[in-house]
Amino acid sequence: KKVETATQSANASFTRMATAVRAIAASYAALKLAEYVKDATMLAARYETFGVVMRVVGNNAGYTGAQMETFARGLEKTGISMIEARQTLTRMVQANLDLTQSLKLARVAQDSAVIGNINSSEAFQRMVYGIQSGQVEILRTIGINVNFEDSYQKVATATGRVTTQLSEAEKSQIRMNAVMDAGKMIAGTYETAMGTAGKQVLS
């Protein structure tokens, strides 16, 4: 009788525990769903905002809204995130960079992402910022070794000028060309690395 009573008591305890666990699980699921909805809403809002900014900045530089969207979709096809594509295109316009070269730059970013052990979106963002700011240290962390001063000097000499006569727009374009040239040294690393589990997880 004592064993039977103890067994019944244990069964009742387990039943109550199971009920409590189900209630906690339901509450947790509801909380996570609410967080997901909130995050998704915020991301959608950011995407929309960056789209407006991208089109306005692009228009100011002579690009139509349709052209900017085409550039953004092209970047997305290379693995650049939707938000990062719009944000980085805006930075490229601000840096007076040729947007028709954005796909080539994104391709270099794919290879450099493997070296930097980051995803392509982050590598692309760093690359554009490095070009925009002229900070070679940022580019070196993702395997892009450049010397912008040497690049300025070569162009100035070829055009019969000195580096101080180069405009900021010219320097920006020179920096981007230097980065794309440096990208040839690491070309192919993305395709090779995509055969590994580690890179697939990052991507």
Contact yes or no for 139/179 (Cβ under 8 A): yes
Q: What is the pTM of this model?
A: 0.72
Cβ contacts of residue 67 below 8 Å, gap of 6+? 58, 99
Residue 177: name the closest of 106, 105, 110, 115 by CA.
Answer: 105
Identity of residue 175: R
| Res. 198 pLDDT band, cuts 50 70 90 | low
Q: Look-up: residue for tokens 């699980």?
A: 25
Output the CA angle 193-195-201, nearest 5 degrees. Answer: 80
| Res. 202 pLDDT band, cuts 50 70 90 | low
Segment 138-153 mean pLDDT: 94
Give just the sign of the alpha carbon dihedral 51, 56, 58, 62.
positive
Q: Where are the alpha helices (DSSP H) in 61-187?
A: 65-77, 82-94, 102-116, 120-133, 136-140, 148-158, 168-183
At 65-78, the pLDDT tens digits run 999 999 999 999 99
Output the CA angle 113-154-164, nearest 5 degrees. Answer: 100
Cβ contacts of residue 99 below 8 Å, gap of 6+? 58, 63, 67, 68, 71, 89, 92, 93
Pick 107 or 195 by higher pLDDT.
107
